[in-house]
Structure 1
Amino acid sequence: MLRTEMRTSPRITTRLTVESIGPTLNISAGGMCVLMADPMREGTTPTLYFAFPDDETPVVCKGRITWCRASKIDPDLFEVGVAFVDIGDADRQRIIDFVDTHLGAEA
């Protein structure tokens, strides 16, 4: 079955720690993929707290779980897609700047 790409923003592979949830596998302005020990049900809306390596001020926002699947990295873990649903403009801009900086570094 072909999967349709729904992503509207560029994403980067990065390891950030989402407090009380787990490390990220990637992030974009629209959401992130998080590696977790336990599955989360689609539609769940956790509060997310994470910071960038060069900025100790955390991003705080609500996320919505959009998918959850067994991890390709470790069969004992889960990869969880999280869309940002309640995020301030300043925090979203910080994410965009972080992604843009890393995309520029990859070029």
Structure 2
Amino acid sequence: MKLDKIKSLVSQDKRKSDRLNLSLRIFYKLPSSSEWTGPLLVENIGGDGLKLNSKIKLKKDTEINLKIELPHEPQPITVKGKIVWCREKSPNLSGYSIGIEFSKMHPRDRRKFIKYIGKNILIEQLNRIGTEP
């Protein structure tokens, strides 16, 4: 029974890459707006998208522009994405959890992003090895 439940949960996850729990500041702008909203904190992030928390409900399939601030980088990277889901948080928490899939990133920003994510994946793996008995 438990194995079937785990298989079901895994098959529901459509991600193409693993996610990291990194505290990054992000700003977003919808095509209908001229103003950036943020900063918001990323809940988790990976090579193909991110999850963030917002006080505002955003509509699924909406195109979105993102600015992601990477540590030790003078300028944020810019990314175009699409909202793939928006869920209301539990009754005792206000706001929404929002899943965003990346659709377009400048090659220069992509290199910076991959370098940052790769470094953090390595650190996470080394920490796991270091904590094993």
Higher helix share: 2
Residue of structure 2 aligned with 1:53, choices 71, 74, 77: 71
Worse overlay, 10-19 or 59-68: 10-19
TM-score by length of 1: 0.86
Of structures 1 and 2, the one scoring higher in RCO (CA 8 A, sep 6+) is: 1
| 2:26 maps to 1:18 | yes
1:28–1:96: 8 Å Cα contact kept in structure 2?
no
Amino acid at match of 1:88: H
Unpaired runs of 5+ residues, structure 1, are none
Q: CA-atom RMSD, angstroms?
A: 1.8
Tell me which residue corresponds to 1:84.
102
Matched residue SS, 2:76: strand
Larger proportion of strand: 1
Q: Any unmatched runs of 5+ in structure 2? A: 28-36, 126-133
* Paired-residue identity, %: 22
Alignment: residue pair count: 106
TM-score normalized by the length of structure 2: 0.71
Match of 2:93 in 1: 75
Alpha-carbon separation, structure 1, partners of 2:25 and 2:70: 9
Larger Rg computed on CA atoms: 2
Query: What's the CA shift string for 1:8-59, capped at 9, x where partnerless?
Result: 1222101111122421001111011011111100011111111111212111
Q: 1:50–1:59: 8 Å Cα contact kept in structure 2?
A: yes
